[in-house]
Structure 1
Amino acid sequence: MTGSSFLSTSELPEDYAQLAATVADFARTVVAPVAAEHDAAHTFPYEVVAGMGELGLFGLPIPEEYGGQGGDYFALCLALEELGKVDQSVAITLEAGVSLGAMPILRFGTEEQKRTWLPQLASGRALGAFGLTEPGAGSDASGTKTTARLDGDEWVINGNKQFITNSGTDITALVTVTAVTGTSEAGKKEISTVIVPADTPGFTAEKAYDKVGWNASDTHPLTFADARVPAANLLGERGRGYANFLRTLDEGRIAIAALATGAAQGCVDESVRYAKEREAFGAPIGRNQAIAFKIARMEARAHTARTAYYDAAALMLSGKPFKKQAAIAKLVASEAAMDNARDATQVHGGYGFMNEYSVARHYRDSKILEIGEGTTEVQLMLIAREVGL
């Protein structure tokens, strides 16, 4: 499965369409039936993740020589959209596992690192995480305080990270962390990235967060107290960690946009179904323009979001600059998901406030889409810069 220089929202190439249909069926028959249960219990859906691994979803953009499917990043995005329609927790587990866990190793790792880590990450039997955000440095990633000091042939890591997805599961294999490894000639922080295996002494995934949404997604603060890893665990060139992380986030924003598009579309689908079935004053509520027009606007938002992430993905696959388009896609899609979740809840009335309805879960889940992997304000800043302001 390879990328096209032009991707249409109305007619996908056959291999992409087949993938989307396969994941849609999996989402409907495997993910959806247990989504509410895991959400209510705040439990990680190991059985669902195993099923995604068997389908090859974690290996979609990973070359076959490293145990992957040999596809591309757009294939991953299509899978995320379908999963996002029914369960954002499951979708973000896949997104973070691939985009933030595996892709940095594929993009910047040595051959030995790729052969050591990628086969298990591509299989879904192991998860990787990306330790970037810190308690005192959210959107300002250059404010990193975690340090990695070279002591002989080992890095000694000290510091804290927060809001790290996939970092504390029973199948978490590694966390790649950004850390200050020195000072540049210009006097600025030298930030590098280092692979830290999950069983490293001194590395602790603290108690999981109690979150508003994404309750079946694994998220922890992390502590590093003299955690020692081999010098060979440096990922990419020393001092290039910040630049490499920016590239990782640019790609990740397309994936998050795809997930958000799925959430927005899921709200449309549930609202259409409900508006046809629910009767008031002797007729289905969908016959009322107030409801019909609200759902029409929801559909328009979802379509616009899909068009935006398709455009960004097409540029990325063709090797052209895509930073601005990725930021636009993330901005448009995350706002579409949040707006559609609010409107879907309104369409459902009192039932929309009940957790047994998926639109209630989307209402809680969607807000983080406007925050994670770059806030709405960060996207606006990036877009403004790209247009010359």
Structure 2
Amino acid sequence: MKAHQTQEQEVCPSIDPGDLSWPFWPAVPLYPYGRRRTLCHEVVKDKIWTFDQLQGILYVVAPIRMTVVKLEEGGLFVYAPVAPTPECVRLVKELEAMHGDVKYIILPTVSGIEHKVFVGPFARRFPLAQVFVAPSQWSFPLNLPLSWLGLPAKRTQILPSDSSLAPFADRFDYAMLGPIDLGLGPFEEVAFFDKLTRTLLVTDSVVSVPEEPPAIVQLDPYPLLFHAKDDAFDVVEDSEATRHKGWQRISLFAFYFRPSALEVVEMGQSFRDALKGPDRSRKAYFGWFPFKWKNEWKQSFDALRGGGRLFVAPILQTLILNRAPKQAIDWANKVASWDFDRIIPCHFDSPIFANQRQFRQAFAFLEKNPSVADGLFGNSTQFLPQSDFKLLKELEVILNKMGVTPPAKEKV
């Protein structure tokens, strides 16, 4: 089964650095900080477009994605805005020139600060748009009003709990997952179903990992080459194989933080190695590379990817959705009742060609007696290897003991 569609990789070598400027990066200081590329990809001709940017920590980079849908009556619907750099705004305005103004901007999450931080600045660049946000919004360490977070007070409203009351109800249905109590604040995500194109829009709930690095990640291959190194002394050349190796290791980092195939070099030894390393530039963290991969790292990636299947990210499995398994299953059943054949998440692969059954199976980890859909992926790839969850499980125990998060509930 074809699990993903390769994105176009057109690069403009003469782009003005000012077009990439994101001056508010200190609010959420993620790589690439104040200079961000945007890639626009047409998913459904004249109907749906995705806008990919990059974000990460310690060169563990992954796409962050906005989806734009053309409304039948004219105008544009924006799900989960990204940084409104001059390049990004210009690309959206090119769509406006052909299809009408941005009419609706959706913030579909409450705890995803990497999504929330862009909504206010994006809305200011498109002053005719109404802004709809998921209920139960909160901020930390102070729970501030949305207007204090930059969202336009006169144009911002809460998504109605009944999707039929939304002004775009003829085109979209939606379902709210949450709020799920996490102690500091709730988790919530709103999935949207575009009835016209049979497309499901989600934020973080499900993902699929491409075997090859996405186009946005390949624009600057340095993070891929950095993580393709086997140790601090390794010098790697830029090649297709090296980029793939770096991407696959980045994926393991992103989902598990410390997968079982990774050894962390003792701090003192890693500093001594840095002094002897071939690249001690600031870009290379002055030679610091405190990682060492075991030979079986590729098997760990293959198990994670599972042939391109849909799955729920390990951190959501371990620290979030298992706090409310029945609520999550009920939501998954609601979403699985929609007749979609394409999924666009905000991270990793997109578009994913998958159906309701595949979506529902991604939540089988919440069930006591999960069933495996015949002929889908098979028992060997239904669940992620528990050995890679070791750090997340340890973190869960610590947070529970400290009273930061409530304990997990029994499976349904």
TM-score category of the 2 structures, normalised to the smaller one: 0.3 to 0.5
Q: Which has the higher helix share?
A: 1
TM-score, normalised relative to structure 2: 0.34
